[in-house]
Amino acid sequence: MKIPFWSRLRLAPRIILVIVGGLLAVKAVDKAMPLLIRPPEIMFFDQDWLLDNLRDIHDRSVATPAAERAALLQDLPVRRWLDIAPLSAPPDFPDTSRLGAFTVLHLQIVDRLGLEPQDVLLKADELDDPEYSPRPLVIILPELPTVMTDVLDDRHSNMLSSDLRIAFRIGPAEWLLITPHGDGQETVRMIRNMLLPLLAVVMIGLLSVWVARGIVRPLDDLVAAAEKLGRDRELSLVGNFNAPELQAIGNSFNAMQRRLKQFVDDRLQMIAAISHDLRTPLTRLRLFAEYMPDQDQRRQMLSDINEMEAMVSATLTYASNQLKDEARSDVDLGSLLISLCDTAADAGCRVVYDGPDHARLSCRPVAIRRVFANLIDNGCKFGSEVRVTLCDGPDAIAITIADDGPGIPAAQREEAFRPFTRLETSRNRETGGTGLGLTIASDVILAHGGVIELGDAPAGGLLVTVMLPKAR
């Protein structure tokens, strides 16, 4: 829902408008309730009239046999104003006859009926806002005439109750309960009183959620764009935010994305150009090496040239980002790992595969193959035995590659993913490596939305854990 001029407002005025609007809406509902639910009746009782009628009810009840008492009470004229209910035991309600002016009323009833104080029970609940009373309001006036404002202001002399109950004994095990005559709307008013606070909370909550979503949604867009920029190195521009502050943040974020992308692209382009230009002198060196008379020198030079060519190839792959540009397709990851383990075993490495023969995954086939081939090859270089384990879960596939080599210290594992990093204490150039294997593996796994972590293998070597989510 679009509100005119809403997008021009800053966040502070929006929050103020929502709070004020919520309060006004709750107040409007509160004022509209009397139109839907009739307010409670207000009964004015003269104090002497009430005492005389209580005495009349008591005397008639005591003088009438129990079998005829119900019919007698039903026909009393006072039933228009008071309900009379016979009880076989004292009523179960707290005696509040010690509150304010009701103390005097209790003593007057005791005196007028000629009973003991414990034989008369009186309950009178005072309500701060009579409009919310579920039962009829009773105002007992010591004298007439009077003014309504005086009644509400002087509650010490004038007795006001939203739940008046008077009970007195008429026999050894017989009581009468006197209450104001109800209008049948008590239950509806009680439901209204419970729903009004709930409705206020719901209305303010809905308005707050609406405003909060307008603030949080742009922040979610910023988080997603930042994650995509870090994962794919591609621009993910944000904009069209509905608040000036958020729009300014979005514009600054877009400008930052462009600068970062330009910075990274320039550096990668420079690395790619240098790596590409190195191919020509390497080819010449290879030709010269073929004509060297000394066999040992020729073997050493060709080995160095092969290592440099591997470094150039890995650098070009990393800089060109071609593995991330590959289209996704359905791959049997279980068969792929089995094939890679067989290839490594044929090369003389002890490799054990533990897992299902088939596990389907939507991924970039060439990139994923290169990642696991590199991880298995690393395990073979630095250990004597490699164990590859696959666990096919409902939401993701977990692969672990463990070797029994020297491993990588915990303090250096994060650094191992940085480009051109060799950890001399455990992985040195004598065993080969360009310093880009784990970097490329991390980039590919992150581009698939997965996670790659390094840990300690049970045999004391390196444990590589890869989690790849399944596409939904």
pLDDT score for 425: 46
pLDDT score for 341: 92
Q: Which of 144, 159, 399, 436 is nearest to 275 (CA)?
A: 436
Q: Decide which of 166, 184, 202 is a domain's last residue.
A: 184
pLDDT score for 428: 45
Work out whether strand 42-46 and strand 137-141 pair parallel, antiparallel, or are unpaired.
parallel
* Tokens of residue 222, six digits: 């910023």
Q: Which domain holds residue 64?
A: 42-184
The whole-angstrom separation of Cα 424 and Cα 416 is 11
Q: Decide which of 184, 199, 223 is a domain's last residue.
A: 184
The SS3 assignment for 330 reads strand
The whole-angstrom separation of Cα 467 and Cα 472 is 16
Task: Provide the domain count of the chain.
Answer: 2
Helix (H) or strand (E) holding 387: strand 385-392
CATH of the domain at 399: 3.30.565.10
- Residues 176, 79: contact at Cβ < 8 Å? no
Tens digits of pLDDT across the chain (472 residues)? 455 555 566 777 777 877 787 778 777 777 777 666 777 778 888 888 999 999 999 999 988 888 888 888 888 888 888 989 888 888 887 766 555 677 888 888 999 999 998 898 888 876 656 666 777 778 887 766 555 555 555 555 567 787 888 999 998 888 999 988 877 777 777 777 777 778 777 877 887 787 777 777 877 888 888 877 766 667 778 877 777 777 788 888 888 888 887 877 777 677 777 767 777 787 888 787 777 788 888 788 787 777 777 767 766 666 665 555 678 889 999 999 999 999 999 888 899 999 999 999 998 888 898 889 989 988 898 888 999 999 998 889 999 999 988 888 888 888 888 776 666 444 444 444 566 778 888 888 888 888 999 999 887 889 999 999 987 5
The whole-angstrom separation of Cα 415 and Cα 466 is 18
The SS3 assignment for 418 reads coil
For residue 199, tell me if it sits in a domain: no
Beta bridge partner(s), residue 386: 351, 403
Q: What's the residue count for the chain?
A: 472
- Give the N- to C-terminal CA distance of the chain in Å, as an integer: 31
- Residues 88, 77: contact at Cβ < 8 Å? no
pTM (two decimals)? 0.47
The whole-angstrom separation of Cα 403 and Cα 344 is 13
For residue 213, tell me if it sits in a domain: no
For residue 95, tell me if it sits in a domain: yes
For residue 341, tell me if it sits in a domain: yes
For residue 390, tell me if it sits in a domain: yes
pLDDT score for 463: 93
pLDDT score for 347: 85
CB atoms within 10 A of CB 195: 13
Q: What is the DSSP letter of 293?
A: S
Collect all residues with Cβ–Cβ distance below 8 Å to 44 and sequence separation of at least 6.
139, 141
For residue 114, tell me if it sits in a domain: yes
Beta bridge partner(s), residue 361: 331
CATH of the domain at 176: 3.30.450
Q: How far is CA 84 from CA 66, 102, 272, in A?
A: 14, 20, 100
Q: Which of 453, 438, 429, 422 is nearest to 318 (CA)?
A: 438
For residue 53, tell me if it sits in a domain: yes
For residue 248, tell me if it sits in a domain: no
Q: Decide which of 184, 204, 231 is a domain's last residue.
A: 184
